[in-house]
Structure 1
Amino acid sequence: MTVKDNYDRPIISFRMSITNRCNVNCLYCHHDGMLPSSEEMTPDEIAKISEVAKTLGVKKIRISGGEPLIRKDIVEIIDKINKIGFKDISITTNGTYLAKYAEDLKDAGLNRVNVSLDTLNRDTYKFITHKDYLQSVKDGILKAVDVGLYPVKINMVLMKDINQDEVWEMFDFCREHGLILQIIELMESESCEDNNVFSKKYHYNINPIEEKLAKIADGVKVREFMQDRRKYYIGNGEIEIVKPMDNTRFCKNCSRLRLTPSGKIKPCLLRNDNLTDIIGPLRNGASDDELREIFLTGINKREPYYNDNR
């Protein structure tokens, strides 16, 4: 049985950030304080928390960071989660270590992967990430395809005067290699430098791109339970449009619960003031029933960030 929150929203997906360490420094990233690797959750702790989530009806697990593949025990983590029996296990990564780990991750039970890649231009990549890893990322993407991770999705954040003219080049790359392109509109965040100065400076309205897609697409699929997000099919290619989440539809259909790198249940992506610690009780010997109650406490804190009255 799937548990629902107080707004009748089922909890289907559990997104676990297993580290906030990262090996790139993207312009738009939310720069949270670094947690020492010695304080990160262990594979067994991650597995135990996942196991409890499964008893509450969670069907999908997504692993993220920071950069999750920076953890040398990432294959062990996926293997332990896979043995619990989830319907879907995925990872969001910057792709720099994907060529190294793709095959082992697939063998361990990983189903699919999202790769953050905003450009195919080396100089632009270095400007965005402050690193020169573009070729490693491309190699990792092709390796993921080769070993059978499917689908491989490319997350492309559009930024004005940086990469907004590269959409169709990226689409051609994705279509050539059987990838799905997700075009993401830059969203404002309190965590961005100088209180949203960056996001306001580089925000690019993707409506014209979506209007063009609507005209040239061979087919369109509306993902009703993903805020009516639209997926456009052009030949053998696929593009999905991801807009900022400041709307009531995003909250109405939200079925996700999150876990922070420090082991706290996070009921809402857009809030940090209602977290529930689970790693502390786990390390102090909490029983499975007690851990379930902690989960339920976190779930009961869920409320729509955006509603009709906001």
Structure 2
Amino acid sequence: MLADSFGRVATDLRVSLTDRCNLRCAYCMPPEGLDWLPAPEVLTSGEIVRLIRVGVSMLGIREVRFTGGEPLLRRDLVPIVARTAALQPRPEISLTTNGIGLARRAGELRAAGLDRINVSLDTLRPEMFRKLARRDRLPDVLDGLAAAVAAGLAPVKVNAVLMRGLNDDEAVPLLQYCLSLGYELRFIEQMPLDAQHGWKRAEMVTAEEIFAALSSSFALAADDARSRGSAPAETFLVDGGPARVGVIASVTRPFCGSCDRVRLTADGQVRNCLFARQESDLRALLRSGATDAQIAARWQAAVAVKLPGHGINDPSFLQPDRPMSAIGG
């Protein structure tokens, strides 16, 4: 198992397939973008699948979520999904994407074995999308959402980050939109993972503010029928259900004590926490001829030293050097 000293066991693997992205979202990176990883440093599809196989067959990984950057930019995404789906025991396979290009690929991803999908959508206003993402691609995202449903990936989950003074007035419209189309909306508190290191707590839209905004138009009730377990989102029934809305309050309501996630970056580094400041290099082991057992041992050692929490609320907190796009969500 991938166990730490606090009794938590990692069973959910987040695999970043690339640090590249075709958007420039304000809470993630500067308008000019970032310096991408050189191609030789990025794991090949064979290396990715081998590490996932070690995780699944030797270390108890039960869920694999592919992230980025933007994972749809990997041309070999479909075969990676298919090879992951062929592993025994078969893990649950999901994808987090900005939705650009999803309209073309949703069907083949479903056929390859993709089980679930999360699509980022922070606004329904074209002009605000251009301001937040610095690209005019809102229609592509909406088309991608529709294609995911048509491909059988329902229920599609939508991730939204509200930013003060920009889209913080869209909580209700976003939920109305998702309810009308059967999407399950998740609001996520903005976290200190931007490349610019410009995050400020006072500017963050909190979970309490989101609840207040939604409660002005909807009746929210605790979803007693669905156990939260290690899930990051608190979910609530909307107007008696069955529709639900979730809030991931990583900053104001940390859920570190039940965290079951471990992350693999696009260049083969294990991160035992989204906010970890240390990484363990599996790529070097892979490329030096290490055995599966040696890789598994390094991985276990990396998780064993996981801290009790992310420390955002501690005065000594330091933001990770890598931004979200280079870590994987």
TM-score, length of structure 2 as denominator length: 0.85
Correspondence for 2:259: 254
Residue range with higher mean Cα deviation, 17-26 or 164-173: 164-173
| Distance 1:232-1:192 versus aligned 2 partners, 3 A rule | farther
Correspondence for 1:101: 105
**Deviations, residues 168-199 of structure 1 (Å, cap 9, x unaligned):** 2111221122110001122234x452x43x54
Match of residue 56, structure 1, among 33, 37, 59: 59
Correspondence for 1:155: 159
**Deviations, residues 63-85 of structure 1 (Å, cap 9, x unaligned):** 10000001111101111111114
Correspondence for 1:46: 48
**Superposition deviation, residue 150 in structure 1:** 2.8
- Contact 1:213–1:232 (CA<8 Å) still a contact in 2? no
**In the TM superposition, what are the counterparts of 1:287-306 in structure 2 within 5 Å?**
287-306=291-310
| Distance 1:11-1:153 versus aligned 2 partners, 3 A rule | same
Gaps of 5+ in 2: 315-329
**Among the aligned pairs, what percent are the same residue?**
32
| Distance 1:9-1:218 versus aligned 2 partners, 3 A rule | closer
d(CA) in 2 for partners of 1:300 and 1:243? 25
Between the two structures, name the one with larger relative contact order (CA 8 Å, sep ≥ 6): 2
- Contact 1:156–1:184 (CA<8 Å) still a contact in 2? yes
Count of residue pairs brought into register by the alignment: 303
- Contact 2:172–2:213 (CA<8 Å) still a contact in 1? no
**Superposition deviation, residue 3 in structure 1:** 3.8
> Is residue 223 of structure 2 the alignment partner of residue 223 of structure 1?
no
| Distance 1:271-1:213 versus aligned 2 partners, 3 A rule | same
TM-score, length of structure 1 as denominator length: 0.90
Determine helix, strand or coil for the equivalent of 1:158. Answer: coil
Residue range with higher mean Cα deviation, 38-47 or 12-21: 38-47
- Contact 1:119–1:170 (CA<8 Å) still a contact in 2? yes
d(CA) in 2 for partners of 1:242 and 1:261? 24
Correspondence for 2:81: 78
d(CA) in 1 for partners of 2:297 and 2:252? 30
Correspondence for 1:65: 68
**Superposition deviation, residue 37 in structure 1:** 3.3
Match of residue 271, structure 1, among 266, 276, 294: 276
Gaps of 5+ in 1: none
Correspondence for 1:164: 168
**Superposition deviation, residue 137 in structure 1:** 0.6
- Contact 1:186–1:199 (CA<8 Å) still a contact in 2? no
| Distance 1:224-1:147 versus aligned 2 partners, 3 A rule | same
d(CA) in 1 for partners of 2:6 and 2:207? 31
Name the structure with the higher helix share.
1
Residue range with higher mean Cα deviation, 296-305 or 116-125: 296-305
